[in-house]
C-alpha cells in the first residue's frame, strides 16, 4: 500500500479546503494517509485534520513557525516524511507549497512535479497528469522513481463527504538551526 503525506494548507489558523481535497484523493487511490501541519497555535486543528481524512497528524507547532519561511517548513515536512516513510508528498497549489516542495524533494533526493491535475498508481509506479504549453497539451507522465513530491493544482481533486480518519497526533519540533532568522518587520501580507 502506498503512503501519501499531505501538507496541510493553513491560513491564519484555519484549515483550507485543499487539505480535504488532497486527503480524499489519497483515500480514493487506496493509499494510507497522513498530514503534516506547520505553524503556531495550531495543535487545536488535530481533530479537524483527522475529520478531513488523515490517519496520522504530524504537528509542528512553534512560535518560530508563525510566519512562513521555506527552510524551517521544509525541515518539518522532511521529518514527517521520514517518520511516515511516505511514498508521495502532496502540497496544495499555494506560494508556500511551490516554495517548499522543491526543497523537500532535494533533501529527500526524490522526484518533484508541479501543477498536477491527477495521480494514478499503475502497478508499482506512479503516473501524473499535468497541463503543458499554456494548457494546450495535457501530459500523462510516468514517474521513474518510487517516490514523488507533487504540487497539486487548485481544485484538481474533490473533497468527498463522509471520509474521516483517526486522531493520532505526533508532535514535531523544528530544528533550532532553522529558526535563527528573525523577522523585524512584515511589510505586507
pLDDT digits (tens, 9 = 90+) for 116-152: 999 998 877 899 999 989 889 999 999 988 899 999 9
**pLDDT at residue number 129:** 94
**Selected residue with higher pLDDT from 104 and 187:** 104
pLDDT digits (tens, 9 = 90+) for 10-66: 988 889 999 999 999 999 999 999 999 999 999 999 999 999 999 999 999 998 888
pLDDT digits (tens, 9 = 90+) for 77-129: 999 999 999 999 999 999 999 999 999 999 999 999 999 999 998 877 899 99
Q: Which helix (H) or strand (E) holds 151?
A: strand 148-152
d(CA 76, CA 103): 11
d(CA 158, CA 138): 19
Q: Which CA distances in Å does 84 have to 52, 77, 140?
A: 18, 10, 28
69: confidence class by pLDDT, cuts 50, 70, 90: confident
For the record, the C-alpha cell of 186 comes out as 512584515
**What is the share, in percent, of the chain residues with pLDDT greater than 70?**
95
Task: Provide DSSP, 27-91.
Answer: HHTT-EEEEEEEESS-GGGHHHHHHTT-S-EEEEE-GGGSS--HHHHHHHHHHHHHHHT-SEEEE
Amino acid at each position: 500500500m502506498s503512503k501519501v503525506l499531505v501538507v496541510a494548507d493553513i491560513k491564519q489558523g484555519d484549515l483550507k479546503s485543499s487539505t480535504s481535497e488532497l486527503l480524499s484523493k489519497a483515500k480514493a487511490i487506496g493509499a494510507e494517509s497522513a498530514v503534516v501541519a506547520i505553524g503556531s497555535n495550531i495543535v487545536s486543528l488535530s481533530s479537524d485534520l483527522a475529520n478531513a481524512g488523515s490517519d496520522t497528524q504530524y504537528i509542528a507547532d512553534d512560535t518560530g513557525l508563525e510566519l512562513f519561511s521555506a527552510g524551517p517548513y521544509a525541515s518539518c515536512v522532511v521529518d514527517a516524511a521520514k517518520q511516515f516513510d511516505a511514498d508521495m508528498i502532496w502540497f496544495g497549489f499555494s506560494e508556500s507549497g511551490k516554495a517548499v516542495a522543491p526543497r523537500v524533494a532535494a533533501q529527500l533526493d526524490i522526484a518533484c512535479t508541479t501543477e498536477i491535475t491527477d495521480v494514478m498508481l499503475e502497478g508499482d509506479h506512479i503516473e501524473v497528469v499535468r497541463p503543458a504549453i499554456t494548457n494546450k497539451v495535457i501530459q500523462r507522465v510516468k514517474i521513474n522513481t518510487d517516490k514523488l513530491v507533487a504540487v497539486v493544482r487548485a481544485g484538481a481533486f474533490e473533497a468527498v463527504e463522509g471520509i474521516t480518519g483517526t486522531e493520532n497526533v505526533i508532535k514535531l519540533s523544528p530544528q533550532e538551526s532553522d529558526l535563527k532568522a528573525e523577522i523585524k518587520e512584515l511589510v505586507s501580507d
